[in-house]
Chain A
């Protein structure tokens, strides 16, 4: 683990283009061309928007292989979701993906509460650290807890996180939850200056941005606007060009993204895939598990995008 420091900025929660139950290679290529120039990192096979929860190991490997080919050494960090339904399955995922993914700047993203309770979590990660070759990023999302086992808590406990932050191989946290919990977590992580906390909730980031950055599914559709807002919010490069017009652009882009998040609200993956498919970026809006979308919502989202252009 040469460089444990995770990047600050925009992490695109990449949707997984599919065609006839397999990875849509051409669509993936076009999608990557659209988002890569604007992002600091890509989150691949994420549990919800990347459909990682429904994706088998073989498909994950195929996805990573195709992404590796398309990137061809381009400098962007890759966050790869590796959680399984059990500790054993998670280990198996890591070992298999590590074989394909030896080189490059990548981080394994793990949602511990998808398969493990808070109890003994730091011991588990200390053990895991011995076998992983890339840094880990924790993922806390109360909506991604184990579906069949009734864990007492839906979030990583602050005290547990404080222990986890001491583990060198853990580089950051993608966080969704209340602002109050965000404060507790931030306090727990203060001992590590290089530890990144990303907002996993786009809406929260648009209101009160975390200085680590944001994980955004909307950036599949509007990567330029998300780049502008992320850079402005966390002062990534302290841009001041075209001032004060730039301020107006930021305001307008911010409004656009807020409206966009509100429109794709409940079924973002399905709606985004439908629009990307209509834009001929991906071949089909196919999903591993079908989801119903509101035609009116898609229409409104398209109108919003057309008007903004």
Chain B
């Protein structure tokens, strides 16, 4: 019985979203055009559950390249309306279109010449009448008895908001790189849990020169491998030191003629190492503690297995600023 009831609710909500496919039309396209042309931000507004939906749509727009914020209709009356400018577009959400608080602020927004777009099922409501465009998010049936809480109607508004955000994203040619820029928290969190062995440079990708190598040759290696440093190895590929961009700068500052020197003359001979089973978070902590940007991974015999740069830990694609 419980399962059947739950299935009924899901069926009703699914139907409410499917119903939107029939309702979507030129108004939607026009809404997209208006938002794309707008110089300002998209202001989402709604009360109660619709307010929560508005907040979510605003967050989705922000993370997909459309500047947006949520304006609480009640707070708007008490001064927050000053946040709106004529360059902005308002997306107002109310299933009935009779929400008093929203209908109070719309005339003021209209006076400011802000474009108003309603997401409502009340096509003949005061909110719809005050809007420049009305997107029909009406549903045929609610899943919750007695109208105690909006269910299918809020699901429909949320889905329409997602449709809008995705279409805007595609229209702006929003890329994976852009998305990562807006989601440092998400991608960073994911990367911080990665093991060093999964992200370290290995084999030929590790910049490496033997002891006795001249500095000009070391600079070529640093440039080719694009990690801002090169490992210096002794006999049997055992770790002997590291020459970083910083070491080169310091040598030049001292007035050394670096073209006449070998790597062992300027290298740091106690480079920091890390176990390949350590996490990125641990690596970053170690780098912060020692004010360095590279760590070297060695085996039990001190043979070099790999190297990791701070940018690899944070996400090279999103954060690398040089050496590309």
Query: Which A residues are within 8 Å of any B CB, using their own CB?
Result: 179-180, 182-183, 186-187, 190-191, 193, 197, 206-212, 229, 231-238, 240, 247, 250-251, 253-254
Contact = CB atoms under 8 A, between A and B. Distances in A.
A46 B249 CA distance: 95
Contact of B147 (A179, A190, A233): A233
Given A187-B18, A191-B22, A235-B96, A254 B145 contact: yes
Interface stretch (B27-35, B134-142, B262-270): B134-142
Given A183-B15, A238-B99, A211 B139 contact: yes
A211 B146 contact: no
Interface string B1-19: 0000000110110010011
B123 interface: yes
Given A187-B18, A210-B140, A251 B96 contact: no
B77 interface: no
Contact of A190 (B23, B142, B143, B145): B23
Interface string B144-170: 111110100000000000000000000
Contacts of B121: 211
Nearest to A232: B147
Given A232-B146, A233-B147, A250-B148, A186 B11 contact: no
A238 B98 contact: yes
A13 B148 CA distance: 25
A233 B142 contact: yes
Q: Which 3 A-B pairs have the closest CB atoms?
A: A238-B98, A232-B147, A233-B147
B95 interface: yes
Contact of B143 (A208, A236, A253): A208
Contact of B123 (A193, A206, A235): A193
Contacts, number: 86
Contacts of B220: none
22 contacts: A179-B8, A179-B12, A182-B141, A183-B12, A183-B15, A186-B15, A186-B19, A186-B141, A187-B19, A187-B22, A208-B8, A208-B9, A209-B147, A210-B140, A229-B146, A235-B95, A235-B150, A238-B96, A238-B98, A238-B99, A240-B100, A250-B148
Interface of B: 8-9, 11-12, 15, 18-19, 22-23, 94-96, 98-100, 121-123, 136, 138-148, 150
Given A235-B98, A236-B96, 9 more contacts: A180-B11, A187-B15, A193-B136, A209-B147, A232-B148, A233-B146, A235-B95, A238-B94, A251-B146
A209 to B, nearest CB: 5
A240 B138 CA distance: 20
A237 B98 contact: yes
A45 to B, nearest CB: 28
B147 to A, nearest CB: 4
Contacts of A236: 96
Contacts of A254: 145-146, 148
A207 B15 contact: no
Nearest to A209: B142
Contacts of A186: 15, 19, 140-141
A178 to B, nearest CB: 11
Given A186-B141, A190-B22, A238-B98, A206 B11 contact: no
Contacts of A238: 94, 96, 98-100
Contact of B145 (A183, A193, A207, A235): A207
Among B15, B22, B96, B145, find the residue whose CB has the most chain A CB atoms closer than 10 A: B145
A187 to B, nearest CB: 7
Contacts of B140: 186, 197, 210-212
A81 to B, nearest CB: 24
Contacts of B11: 179-180, 183
B145 A206 contact: yes
Given A193-B136, A235-B98, A240-B100, A208 B148 contact: no
Contacts of A253: 146
A209 B141 contact: yes
Nearest to B143: A208
Nearest to B12: A208
Contacts of A251: 146, 148
B145 A211 contact: no
Contacts of B148: 232, 247, 250-251, 254
B142 A208 contact: yes
A96 B158 CA distance: 50
